[in-house]
């Protein structure tokens, strides 16, 4: 009951993870809470209830003070993993 309400509030206030991909060169991620891994082949980012793994080559993270993150490089794979809320 509480979880459903939280989900609805998050959706209403656009607090969920937003992902926009431009080809395999750029990925824009909204509402990124934490950076778990930030190497040039793997970026693991915690966004709401999701843990997003981005695989690729020469990956670089750009933080423009928006609460999100821009990943640029040659993206080959994106994994979305649900994580237990803390």
Q: Is 13 in the site for another protein (CB under 8 A)?
A: no
Q: Is 86 in the site for another protein (CB under 8 A)?
A: no
- State in angstroms the smallest separation of the CB of 13 from another protein: 19
CB atoms within 10 A of CB 24: 12
74 Cβ neighbours under 8 A, 6+ residues apart: 24, 25, 56, 57, 58, 59
Q: Is 19 in the site for another protein (CB under 8 A)?
A: no
Footprint of another protein (CB under 8 A)? 32, 34-40, 59-65, 67, 69
């Amino acid at each position: 009951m509480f979880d459903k309400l939280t989900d609805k509030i998050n959706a209403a206030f656009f607090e969920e993870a937003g992902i926009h991909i431009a080809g395999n060169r750029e990925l824009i991620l909204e509402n990124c809470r934490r950076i778990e891994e930030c190497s040039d082949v793997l970026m693991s980012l915690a966004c709401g209830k999701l843990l997003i793994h981005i695989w690729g080559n020469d990956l670089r993270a750009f933080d423009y003070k928006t609460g999100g993150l821009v990943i640029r490089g040659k993206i080959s794979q994106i994994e979305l993993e649900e994580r237990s809320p803390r």
